[in-house]
Amino acid sequence: MPALLFATLLLLQGCSLLSQKEPDQRDAADSPVTSESGASGREAFAVDVQAPDAVRDFLTRNLEIQRYRKLNDLGPVELSRLMVAAEANARELLNTMGYFTPTLTLELRETPDGKAPREVRITVVPGEITHVSDVHVDFNGPIAQTPESEERRNAIRAAWPLRQGQAFSQQAWDNAKSTALRSLTARRYPTGTIVTSRAEVDADRAEARLSATYDSGPAYRFGPLVVRGYQRYDPDAMRRIARIPTGADYDQQQLLDAQQRLASSGYFNSVFLTLDTTHDDPLSAPVIAQVQEAPLQKVVAGVGYTTDSGPRLSLDHIHNQMPLLGWRAVSRLYLDRDTQSLGTEWSAVPRDSGWRTFTAAQLKSEVSGDYTVDSGRLRGGESKASDHIDRSLFLQYDYASNHGFNAPPSASALSINWNWTGRYFDNANAPTRGQGIALELAAGYTLTGERLPFTRTYARWVGFVPAGTVYSDDGTQSRGARIQLRSEIGALIAKDSAQIPSTLAFLTGGDTTVRGYSFRSIGAVRPSGTVIAGRYMGVASIEWQRPFVYNGKISDWESTVFVDAGSVADKVGDLEAKVGVGVGARWKSPIGPISIDLAYGVDVKEFRLHFRFGFTF
């Protein structure tokens, strides 16, 4: 019930964001000219634009005459002057839309029974819209002088968005020039500029000939990293974290990636990287890092709620420079309905290769199937995080003690592990395209009972497949629908007699696995009917996500329909899918994506509400 109430409140808040302002409120907010007499609520005159929908909406929003509607002391002479100015203003606005031969008729009508005593009616026949007949893009500077830059020039021309045959408008023309300039300055030529731009319009033939010339400026290469604003942290360590490719051609994306690496390192509250284009040698331009350091130590408390585990409390302590070692330590206390854990991870600053040494320890008590498991884990090794790929190689010790009626025996093991995760999404926080894949491989020996070898393999994958495009009623907005596919497989291979810690085995079910079932409730079923973590696991999911149109506009909401299936067993032949089906909603909230799903567990014959915040892979 708390989860249902919380989800209902979020839905109501989301709907409130979709509501539109009343026309009178919008007009008042957009009218900077007011008078005391206007406070009575009745306008001096109304403006009625008669035109095709797109033209009417644009003129209604932007006509200058709208600013004077609240001036109740306007006389006939002043209003006539405003109407003359309104005609010229309307023609200018129509020109920006690509209509250069419009026919306009302005009338002043008495409307004593209307919301205003007079009405200015503007009737518009926009005429034929102007189309682009020719586009010419040229270059000056080094990009025009070197044969190896021909491919780059051709690529910028090919990506020019306002092409021959398309409708011309001032906004499309400005966007095209800006897009080409961004493409030019994104690599090698950060100081590129627009030298000349010209749009020649033949109104009689409704044609526009476009030309633009860009000056690339000198080619730049990355020089050394210069850090400003540091006090306690080693600037050479910052260089190793940023990994600026010194000596390589300037690339804006590489600069942003380096900035993100510094910002996410935990050492800084803010980071801003710029290329020093005032330097004497453009082939060794310094990269300026303006930083604001984070405190040496800090404590972060967090509270939350999930439909999987109920209320959640966490307490983190971060030490950015441990005594003697100089490593970064992150320690966490975590408490929820089913899990209590205390852990710490210490990591060194990356070396020039990008690899860093780390060690970690954790104590945990959690509900695992029908049992409670008290476990401990020690881990130490090497890790590396790059732009899209994280990898690690480490030695790990595991211990698990199971509690409950007829619980499996306690066990311990030592293993060597290799983990690899690749993320190729268009947006790491709220993806709509791309895919992610994670692999875990381990080989080890049991340390309890008979010493036996074992291997553990785990893989998961998420991918998005386009499934058409959804348009607003007027066709001006569009967003793609998609199908999200998800799968997980796991295998723990050893002799039946091997005593392997249950924390290395598999369970599934819950918000992010098989919806319609409680968290980690799907496992291997013992002859007594109790559920334990099993040696083999398989999960698959398909979900259709479609943008939701509200009041003719594409909203920040999406509707979903999904089918999940998963199974866990100690033998491959015993795998039997547990299926969950349902519907849900996705809200692109200001603080991140929020998901609400109502799922029916076919095997348990129950409905469950699932709520989660954010996207992680």
Strands 118-125 and 46-50: parallel
State the Cα–Cα distance between residues 319 and 421, nearest whole angstrom. 27
Over residues 279-298, mean pLDDT: 92
Nearest to 501 by CA among 571, 421, 411, 427: 411
Over residues 40-64, mean pLDDT: 86
Residue 8 pLDDT more than 80? no
* Best-predicted range by mean pLDDT (12-16, 72-76, 426-430, 582-586): 582-586
* Best-predicted range by mean pLDDT (109-118, 380-389, 481-490): 481-490
The predicted pLDDT at position 19 comes to 36
- In CATH, the architecture of 350-613 is Beta Barrel (2.40)
Instruction: Look at residue 5 and give its three-state secondary structure.
Output: helix
The answer for residues whose C-beta is within 8 angstroms of residue 36's C-beta and 6 or more apart is none
| AA letter at 467 | A
Q: Give this prediction's pTM.
A: 0.73
- Start-to-end CA distance of the chain, whole Å, equals 29
Nearest to 615 by CA among 427, 384, 487, 480: 427
What are the tens digits of pLDDT across the range 180-215? 999 999 999 999 999 999 999 999 899 999 999 999
What are the tens digits of pLDDT across the range 318-368? 999 999 888 999 999 999 988 999 999 999 999 988 899 999 999 999 988
343 forms beta bridges with: 332, 362
In the structure, how many helices (H) and strands (E) does the chain have?
Answer: 9, 27
H/E run at residue 537 = strand 536-550
* CB 240 within 8 Å of CB 227: no
Instruction: Look at residue 97 and give its three-state secondary structure.
Output: coil
Who wins on pLDDT, 92 or 76?
Answer: 92
In the chain, domain spans: 24-125, 131-215, 222-293, 296-349, 350-613
Residue 148 pLDDT more than 70? yes
CA dihedral over 70, 75, 81, 86, signed as positive or negative:
positive
Same fold, 131-215 and 222-293: yes
**CA–centroid distance for 79 within its chain:** 50
DSSP 395-460: EEEEEEEEESTTPPPPEEEEEEEEEEEEEEES-SSS-SSEEEEEEEEEEEEE-SSS--EEEEEEEE
What are the tens digits of pLDDT across the range 403-440? 888 888 899 999 999 999 999 998 888 899 999 999 99
Who wins on pLDDT, 200 or 309?
Answer: 200
Specify the CATH number for 131-215; select among 3.10.20.310, 3.30.70.2190, 3.40.50.300, 3.30.540.10: 3.10.20.310
The predicted pLDDT at position 41 comes to 58
The predicted pLDDT at position 395 comes to 98
Q: Residues 489, 490, 493, 497: what is their CA dihedral angle, to the nearest 10 degrees?
A: -130
Instruction: Look at residue 283 and give its three-state secondary structure.
Output: helix
Superfamily classification of domain 24-125? membrane protein fhac (3.10.20.310)
Q: 437-446: buried (b, 16+ CB within 10 Å) or exposed (e) per residue? A: bbebebebeb
What are the tens digits of pLDDT across the range 436-469? 999 999 999 999 989 999 999 999 999 999 999 9
Supply the mean pLDDT for the chain.
Answer: 88
CB count in 10 Å sphere of residue 112: 7
Residue 36 pLDDT more than 60? no
Provide the CATH topology of domain 222-293. Ubiquitin-like (UB roll) (3.10.20)
Instruction: Look at residue 251 and give its three-state secondary structure.
Output: strand
